[in-house]
Amino acid sequence: MALDTVALAQANPDSTQPFAELGLKLDEYARIKEILGRRPTSSELAMYSVMWSEHCSYKSSKVHLKQFGDKAVKTDALLVGIGENAGVVDVGQGYAVTFKIESHNHPSFIEPYQGAATGVGGIVRDILTMGARPIAVMDPLRFGPADALDTKRVLPGIVAGVGGYGNCLGLPNIGGEVVFDETYLGNPLVNALCVGVMKHSDIKLAKAAGAGNLVVLYGAKTGGDGIGGVSVLASETFESKGPAKRPAVQVGDPFVEKVLIECSLEIFAEDLVVGIQDLGGAGLSCATSELASGGSGGMKVQLDKVPLRDPSLSPEEILMSESQERMCAIVEPSKIARFLEICDKWDVTVSVIGEVTDGKHLEITWHGDLIVDVPPRTVAHDGPVYNRPLAQPAYIDIVAKEVLNLPIPSTADEIRSTVLQLAATPNLADKSWVTDQYDRYVQGNSIQSQPDDSGMVRIDEKTHLGVAVATDANANWSYLNPYEGAKLALAEAARNIATAGAKPLAVTNCLNFGSPEDPGVMWQFAESVRGLADGCLEMGLPVTGGNVSFYNQTGTVAILPTPVIGVLGVIDDVRTRTPMSFDRAGLDLYLLGETFDDLAGSEWAYMHKQRGGIAPVADLQREMRLIELLVAGRTKKIFTAAHDLSQGGLSATLTEMVLRYNTGATIQLENVGMMLLSETPGRVVVAIDPAQGAALNSEAAEKKIALTKIGITGGDSLVINDAKISLKELHEAHTQTFQKLFG
């Protein structure tokens, strides 16, 4: 097969092209021909097909995600909003923090270790691309049932991959989630979050500006990673007898990325780049078209200048390759010598592959032949926009009518047994088996990590300014009511920031859903986005960016809607943060917030296989007042400890608090069963020195937050009314689960 050039495309306009195999619809193919005024070359076809895919173009979600911009609260704190690689917020003292969460679900099902590893690698590069030094990672993970065979296949590999890549990059893992549910069997969710910090003046954007500036590719060499589907275009090079040279899975090398990070930061420090983009999904196709779109308009690229690991790759394959650890920078000619010097110092492969032009097109040549000549915005930004049909699924009204029939403990034995059951159930059990595989110390600035409510990192050693990050989702609530479910997840993540006394500042999100071609799923998505957008507007928190992962389903069964919300907050002095728990006797324990009979969607209901009922309704005004109370509790030095309530209710919260520093508590509760199990949102347990009682009462009254004294700290047991569980027994129940399941 001869090289398919622009000249050839003009000469034979009627060649059949495998657009359908590449995932393009007939009308989309027609549109490409309309844009170009001729049929596309095979390289152009490959570029459009991958850039117009759901994953890259967000064609099904764009119309809904618009709300984040439309309903955005006006805030000076947002320095870079949606549209760039990651959002950037001002945290004071001249510092800007960038953070984002992304998914790598399908690859992790296929190859757990590499799928998770490259997921971490990808999100870290997104942060680096903004000009920031990455300072921490978090990993919300969701799996099928803990005892399922396939969970035993994917979980250890995914955890090893997250740890293997993150640890080798020197990034502390400061938190995450591990959730088990039948819904994720066959569709594990691997969401990876990264935080980075820089000075305001360091912010970099992805645009190719300035005609004559050079387009520079640096990092790993390009190989055949992740181009499986594009082989239809290059079938003559595919050796059917030999070993597969075109794997669909990307393989990462964290050492190369670590070196890339240090090299890039030195380059940034000397102000050597005008624009920069990392190469993620759709590799060079994405980087070149996005950089060109973001800049003055034109770019010329000589594809044969790309350093190759595999010299047999065709131009189409090079354009599609998803080889990891690569970046594309725009560099002024006067600065290129120094740029190359720094790459040489770090032994990083680098090649000048093109230049910015003052034309309007992205032109790519292969040994002199023009193989791509496109208006870059049509590739990167003006892809198809779908208004997919949506319809409230039938199950919504059905499950709302479900009456729960759950055992509620009342006797001492029943209380004991319930608390121990919850302590040991996989969703609530101690996660050290997972988190001990992650380095939480590297960089020496980790203040909080698992199992605290939020991860917290100090960003200034002198002033002790810090940031806190938390991620949350509740698929059970989102299933029952996607609109409220998203709001509730937002509230929970914000509350998790506030328990330590930090102030929530900005939001990111990873929206994991089934197929957008299913009107019911699309309705869940639309409702979730609407709920999140409304919630963010009400709470005054801007959405800085995020990620959508569709098609998480096996056959026709979609996963429960799982919008994961990440909230970033700031704290002026990490030394004054409120810890999650207490280590001495004699403190008074209070429950902030009222408790109602909220068992629908709870862990207790899940454990009894009852998934119906009515989800709680978010009261964001009250959540905001609670956040104010939590922040005041720290600044006014009222709280000794604070821990929020979520899955597993008060039972889980008390269990976690007494085991954290091995200090017991004596609790008295009315309506004890419901109090222990209910998952009413907007509640926190705080420990105070009794001398702070009046101050607490006054603050709570002023903020209109219900306050109930529930007990005191001390002893070697958790005592709830007449039930007594020794810390030893509770510890064993809590910590044995993962060891037994995963060895």
Q: Report the alpha-carbon angle 317-320-326, nearest 5.
A: 110
Residue 718 CA to residue 664 CA, distance in Å, equals: 5
Of 109-117, 445-453, 468-476, 617-625, the window that binds another protein (rule: CB under 8 A) is 445-453
Judged by beta carbon, residue 458 or residue 495, the one nearer another protein is 458
Minimum CB distance to another protein, residue 162 (Å): 10
Residue 529 CA to residue 535 CA, distance in Å, equals: 10
Judged by beta carbon, residue 266 or residue 304, the one nearer another protein is 266
CB 82 within 8 A of CB 71: no
Does the N-terminal peptide bond of residue 451 adopt cis geometry, omega within 30 degrees of 0? yes
Minimum CB distance to another protein, residue 458 (Å): 7
Minimum CB distance to another protein, residue 95 (Å): 18
Sequence-distant (6+) residues with CB within 8 A of 61 are 511, 516, 525, 529, 548, 550
Judged by beta carbon, residue 87 or residue 252, the one nearer another protein is 252
Minimum CB distance to another protein, residue 517 (Å): 38
If one asks whether residue 600 binds another protein (CB under 8 A), the answer comes out as no
**Selection from 593, 538, 578 nearest residue 704 by Cα:** 593
Minimum CB distance to another protein, residue 289 (Å): 32
> Element (H or E) spanning 392, and its range?
none
Q: Classify residue 105 by burial, with Cβ atoms within 10 Å: 0-12, 13-18, 19+.
A: buried
Binding another protein (rule: CB under 8 A), the pick from 238, 346, 386, 606 is 346
Concatenated DSSP letters for 73-94?
A: PP-TTEEE-BTBSSEEEEEETT
What 3-state class would DSSP assign to 487? Answer: helix
Minimum CB distance to another protein, residue 169 (Å): 8
What 3-state class would DSSP assign to 222? Answer: strand
* Chain center to CA of 91: 20
If one asks whether residue 467 binds another protein (CB under 8 A), the answer comes out as no
Give the number of C-alpha atoms closer than 13 A to the C-alpha of residue 691, restricted to the C-beta side: 2
Of 158-166, 207-215, 218-226, 266-274, the window that binds another protein (rule: CB under 8 A) is 158-166
Number of amino acids touching another protein (CB under 8 A): 32
* Chain center to CA of 385: 24
If one asks whether residue 575 binds another protein (CB under 8 A), the answer comes out as yes
- Among residue numbers 413 through 442, which ones bind another protein (CB under 8 A)? 435-442
Judged by beta carbon, residue 121 or residue 648, the one nearer another protein is 121
Binding another protein (rule: CB under 8 A), the pick from 205, 379, 420, 447 is 447
Minimum CB distance to another protein, residue 263 (Å): 10
Binding another protein (rule: CB under 8 A), the pick from 5, 302, 418, 445 is 445
If one asks whether residue 446 binds another protein (CB under 8 A), the answer comes out as yes
Torsion angle (degrees, nearest 10) of CA 345, 350, 351, 355: -90
Minimum CB distance to another protein, residue 239 (Å): 18
Sequence-distant (6+) residues with CB within 8 A of 124 are 134, 137, 169, 171, 194, 257, 261
If one asks whether residue 579 binds another protein (CB under 8 A), the answer comes out as no
Binding another protein (rule: CB under 8 A), the pick from 39, 59, 431, 458 is 458
Judged by beta carbon, residue 168 or residue 654, the one nearer another protein is 168
Of 165-173, 232-240, 305-313, 706-714, the window that binds another protein (rule: CB under 8 A) is 165-173
If one asks whether residue 242 binds another protein (CB under 8 A), the answer comes out as no
- Among residue numbers 372 through 391, which ones bind another protein (CB under 8 A)? none
- What separation in angstroms does the CA of 18 have from each of 7, 46, 344? 19, 10, 42
Minimum CB distance to another protein, residue 576 (Å): 11
Residue 346 CA to residue 520 CA, distance in Å, equals: 51
Judged by beta carbon, residue 66 or residue 153, the one nearer another protein is 153
**Selection from 352, 349, 121 nearest residue 220 by Cα:** 349
Judged by beta carbon, residue 163 or residue 593, the one nearer another protein is 163
Binding map of another protein across residues 300-339, x = CB under 8 A, - = no contact: ----------------------------------------
If one asks whether residue 634 binds another protein (CB under 8 A), the answer comes out as no
Of 139-147, 162-170, 415-423, 486-494, the window that binds another protein (rule: CB under 8 A) is 162-170
If one asks whether residue 347 binds another protein (CB under 8 A), the answer comes out as yes
If one asks whether residue 133 binds another protein (CB under 8 A), the answer comes out as no
Which residues are annotated as catalytic?
55, 104
Binding another protein (rule: CB under 8 A), the pick from 351, 417, 421, 443 is 443
Beta bridge partners of 138: 193
Minimum CB distance to another protein, residue 276 (Å): 21
Residue 43 CA to residue 125 CA, distance in Å, equals: 26
- CA atoms 101, 102, 103, 108: torsion sign: negative
Binding another protein (rule: CB under 8 A), the pick from 115, 157, 161, 164 is 164
The residue length of the chain stands at 743
> Which residues in 680-720 belong to E strands, given as ranges?
684-688, 707-713, 717-720
Tell me 555's DSSP state.
T
Sequence-distant (6+) residues with CB within 8 A of 54 are 60, 516, 550, 551
Q: How many CB atoms lie within 10 A of CB 259?
A: 18
Minimum CB distance to another protein, residue 442 (Å): 5
What 3-state class would DSSP assign to 313? Answer: coil
In single-letter form, the type of residue at position 648 comes to G
Binding map of another protein across residues 243-282, x = CB under 8 A, - = no contact: ----------xxxx-xx-----------------------
Judged by beta carbon, residue 71 or residue 152, the one nearer another protein is 152
Tell me 242's DSSP state.
S
- Greatest alpha-carbon span in the chain: 88
Judged by beta carbon, residue 441 or residue 596, the one nearer another protein is 441
If one asks whether residue 167 binds another protein (CB under 8 A), the answer comes out as yes
If one asks whether residue 740 binds another protein (CB under 8 A), the answer comes out as no
Minimum CB distance to another protein, residue 309 (Å): 16
Judged by beta carbon, residue 93 or residue 576, the one nearer another protein is 576
In single-letter form, the type of residue at position 34 comes to E
Q: Which residues bind another protein (CB under 8 A)?
A: 160, 163-164, 167-170, 253-256, 258-259, 346-347, 435-447, 458, 461, 574-575
